[in-house]
Amino acid sequence: MTLPRSGLCLIATVLLTATVARADGDHAPIGEAIKDVPLFDAHIHYKEPAWGPYPVKSVIELMDRNGVAMGLVSSTPDEGTIMLWEYAPNRIVPELRPYHGNAGSGNWTKAPGMEEYLEERLAKYPHEGLGEFHIHNLDPTDRPLLKKVTAMAKARSIPIHVHSGADPVHLLYELEPALTIIWAHAGMSEPADVVEKVMETYPTLYADTSFRENDILKSMAEIDPHWRRILTRFADRLMVGTDTWINAQWGNYSELIALNRQWLSLLPRETAEQIAYKTAEKLFNRKVSMDQIGTK
Ligand SMILES: [Zn+2]
């Protein structure tokens, strides 16, 4: 077959571009190939209102359809996490959320019997994290319980998953310096310079980037420069997440995953794979791969 001249020019250009990309080594963005990379979703909730419309089987199918090989799950109440984990133990990393009954994000530190509840659930199930819980403001009267919570995490060598600004992260490390923490939403509304500073301060601080997509993406084709620096510097402590805190998030699950793959596609392969699943593999001592899709 004979190619028209313009076709030859196009091929030459493509080859030249490929050569340049190779010469640039790992710095070329992974691009479209991100679709073949398995994801670890580090921020899943399976709360009671989801149990009816999204039975366990449908949750795993949603993960399958989106190349989400595994996820870190915490639920209100904890029974949701256990249901998912019992259904698909090879796909779910369970973590213990304190919220149950009348104890929720605003009052869990003051709920009667909270320490005993946590101890009991930790003894009964193989939870690999404590959280995600909120610390909205620093109340000195919460210190004794938080001290116990950090001690529980340390004794089991499991991370704490906290939704808070920077100050509660400082407090938790003050209470227990040897702690491993996953900072939910990478600080949620903390600006990039604060996030970078806090990540720099604590080498055992990890973060999930759920709800940060619009901070990370300057446009659909470009990553915000400050966030690019954070993603590059701390890739081995960052994970993606969707945060299925309400059923609407389950309804948008595929779109949320696509948005995460969008910003990951703009990163070099090594960085993208690290954040997509390798950080979680190391943190939870698991193997994460596309071979898990379609299995339980
Ligand atoms: Zn959450």
Could you tell me the distance, in angstroms and rounded to a whole number, from the CA of residue 5 to the centre of ligand 1? 56
Convert the pLDDT of each residue in 20-57 to its tens digit. Answer: 444 445 589 999 999 999 999 999 999 999 999 999 99
Could you tell me the distance, in angstroms and rounded to a whole number, from the CA of residue 282 to the centre of ligand 1? 22
Could you tell me the distance, in angstroms and rounded to a whole number, from the CA of residue 21 to the centre of ligand 1? 38
Q: Residue range 197-218: average pLDDT?
A: 98
Whether the pLDDT of residue 7 is over 50: the answer is no
- The predicted pLDDT at position 41 comes to 98
Could you tell me the distance, in angstroms and rounded to a whole number, from the CA of residue 44 to the centre of ligand 1? 7
Determine the Cα–Cα distance for residues 117 and 108; give it in Å rounded to an integer: 11
Q: Evaluate whether residue 3 is within a structural domain.
A: no
Could you tell me the distance, in angstroms and rounded to a whole number, from the CA of residue 115 to the centre of ligand 1? 21
Could you tell me the distance, in angstroms and rounded to a whole number, from the CA of residue 48 to the centre of ligand 1? 14
Backbone angles phi, psi at 163, to 5 degrees: -100, 105
- The predicted pLDDT at position 11 comes to 38
Could you tell me the distance, in angstroms and rounded to a whole number, from the CA of residue 228 to the centre of ligand 1? 24
Convert the pLDDT of each residue in 208-238 to its tens digit. Answer: 999 999 999 999 999 999 999 999 999 999 9
Q: Evaluate whether residue 16 is within a structural domain.
A: no
The three state secondary structure string of 88-108 is: CCCCEEECECCCECCECCCCH
Q: Evaluate whether residue 221 is within a structural domain.
A: yes
Q: Evaluate whether residue 241 is within a structural domain.
A: yes
Convert the pLDDT of each residue in 251-293 to its tens digit. Answer: 999 999 999 999 999 999 999 999 999 999 999 999 999 999 9
Q: Evaluate whether residue 22 is within a structural domain.
A: no
Closest alpha carbon to 28 in 277, 233, 265, 276: 265
Could you tell me the distance, in angstroms and rounded to a whole number, from the CA of residue 24 to the centre of ligand 1? 38
Could you tell me the distance, in angstroms and rounded to a whole number, from the CA of residue 10 to the centre of ligand 1? 48
Instruction: Note down the domain range covering 195.
Output: 39-292
Cβ atoms of 169 and 200 closer than 8 Å? no
Convert the pLDDT of each residue in 172-191 to its tens digit. Answer: 999 999 999 999 999 999 99
Percent of the chain with pLDDT over 90: 91
Whether the pLDDT of residue 9 is over 70: the answer is no
* Number of independent structural domains in the chain: 1
- The predicted pLDDT at position 25 comes to 53
Bridge partner list, 223? 217
Could you tell me the distance, in angstroms and rounded to a whole number, from the CA of residue 19 to the centre of ligand 1? 43
Could you tell me the distance, in angstroms and rounded to a whole number, from the CA of residue 43 to the centre of ligand 1? 6
Q: Evaluate whether residue 271 is within a structural domain.
A: yes
- The predicted pLDDT at position 117 comes to 98
- The predicted pLDDT at position 27 comes to 86
Apex CA 220: angle with CA 63 and CA 252, to 5°?
A: 30
pLDDT band at 10 (very low <50, low <70, confident <90, very high): very low
Percent of the chain with pLDDT over 70: 91
Closest alpha carbon to 256 in 241, 276, 266: 241
Q: Evaluate whether residue 21 is within a structural domain.
A: no
Name the average pLDDT for the chain.
93
Q: Evaluate whether residue 282 is within a structural domain.
A: yes
Query: What is each CA distance from 63 to 35, 57, 150, 276, in whole angstroms?
Result: 13, 10, 31, 14
Could you tell me the distance, in angstroms and rounded to a whole number, from the CA of residue 41 to the centre of ligand 1? 12
At 112, which CATH number? 3.20.20.140
